[in-house]
């Protein structure tokens, strides 16, 4: 769901201390050392696995432009995946040869890992849209923001089979300086939008089309949704808008990183 305000809505990990037994702590240290050196035998019942590498940090400024150049647009799809609508959106994108960025809610990704894998297999990019899509999270504590962002990153990465989200989009644009910095430190570029299709309000496909055409001058990143209710109007609008954009000479890219 978009919270309106255009480009002016720019914008706050905390680790919980957990008590562990001395045996568990010793096993953890041994496992990490074994993973680093690649030598030694595993302790009984323990598999030595090196930790997954952390993504390189990216800019913490909110991205709006396209890596496709001055006459390219970025199609972004929020709030899914959804078993009814995500496959239909994927089909429209496939029919038009367009790649998009899917901003996924962590609980949705966790519930529908097959759809997350389909998105990745089709060449689209993933974006962290928090665990529960709380549009007031900019008013919450840093610990809460951290939980929402980092847990969703984990949920989406697991559901995808190991592909990390490349962006972070705050629900409703509820960014904070802290959330932007945290996301960037995890290799996720904060992602804004220039054109709000207002498809979430279900105003009719013709209204969605008219809104996008009328706001394209604002910039290249266009916001749509594939969950949160009946998205048939979005699917219909995309069937018209994607060919129209090509006819106008637009290319399609991804948000800058």
* Residue 26 binned pLDDT confidence (cut-offs 50, 70, 90): very low
78 in active site = yes
pLDDT number for residue 55:
75
Who's near 54: CB < 8 A, 6+ residues apart?
186, 187
- The answer to whether the CB of 102 falls within 8 A of the CB of 130 is no
Who's near 151: CB < 8 A, 6+ residues apart?
106, 131
| Annotated catalytic residue within 112, 129, 186, 225 | 225
Which sequence spans correspond to the domains of the chain?
A: 16-51, 55-253
When pLDDT is averaged across residues 57-81 and rounded to a whole number, the result is 96
* Residue 53 binned pLDDT confidence (cut-offs 50, 70, 90): low
Phi-psi region at 176: left, alpha or beta (left = phi > 0; alpha = psi -120 to 50):
beta
Q: Per-residue pLDDT tens for 98-130?
A: 999 999 999 999 999 999 999 999 999 999 999
Predicted TM-score (pTM) above 0.85: no
> Quick one: 55-253 is in which CATH superfamily?
Glycoside hydrolase/deacetylase (3.20.20.370)
Q: Per-residue pLDDT tens for 123-174?
A: 999 999 999 999 999 999 999 999 999 999 999 999 999 999 999 999 999 9
Most confident of 1-5, 46-50, 239-243: 239-243
pLDDT number for residue 57:
84
| Annotated catalytic residue within 78, 82, 138, 196 | 78
* Residue 7 binned pLDDT confidence (cut-offs 50, 70, 90): very low
Who's near 243: CB < 8 A, 6+ residues apart?
96
Q: Count Cα atoms within 13 angstroms, Cβ side, for 149.
A: 35
When pLDDT is averaged across residues 60-80 and rounded to a whole number, the result is 97
pLDDT number for residue 181:
98
* Residue 187 binned pLDDT confidence (cut-offs 50, 70, 90): very high
């Amino acid at each position: 769901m978009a919270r309106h305000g255009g480009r002016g809505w720019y914008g706050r990990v905390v680790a919980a201390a957990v008590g562990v037994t001395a045996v568990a702590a010793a096993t953890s240290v041994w496992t990490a050392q074994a993973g680093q050196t690649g030598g030694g035998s595993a302790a009984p019942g323990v598999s030595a696995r090196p930790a997954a590498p952390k993504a390189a940090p990216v800019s913490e400024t909110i991205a709006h432009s396209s890596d496709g150049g001055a006459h390219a647009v970025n199609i972004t799809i929020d709030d899914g995946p959804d078993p009814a609508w995500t496959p239909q959106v994927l089909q429209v994108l496939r029919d038009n040869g367009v790649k998009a960025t899917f901003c996924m809610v962590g609980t949705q990704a966790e519930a529908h890992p097959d759809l997350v894998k389909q998105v990745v297999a089709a060449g689209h990019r993933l974006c962290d849209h928090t665990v529960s899509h709380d549009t007031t999270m900019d008013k919450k504590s840093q610990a809460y923001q951290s939980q929402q962002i980092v847990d969703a990153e984990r949920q989406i990465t697991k559901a995808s089979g190991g592909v990390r989200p490349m962006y972070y989009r705050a629900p409703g644009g509820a960014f904070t300086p802290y959330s932007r910095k945290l996301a960037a430190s995890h290799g996720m570029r904060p992602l804004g939008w220039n054109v709000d299709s207002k498809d979430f309000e279900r105003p009719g496909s013709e209204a969605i089309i008219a809104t996008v055409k009328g706001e394209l001058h604002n910039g290249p990143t266009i916001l749509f949704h594939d969950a949160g209710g009946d998205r048939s109007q979005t699917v219909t609008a995309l069937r018209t808008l994607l060919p129209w954009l090509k006819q106008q000479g637009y290319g399609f890219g991804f948000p800058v990183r």
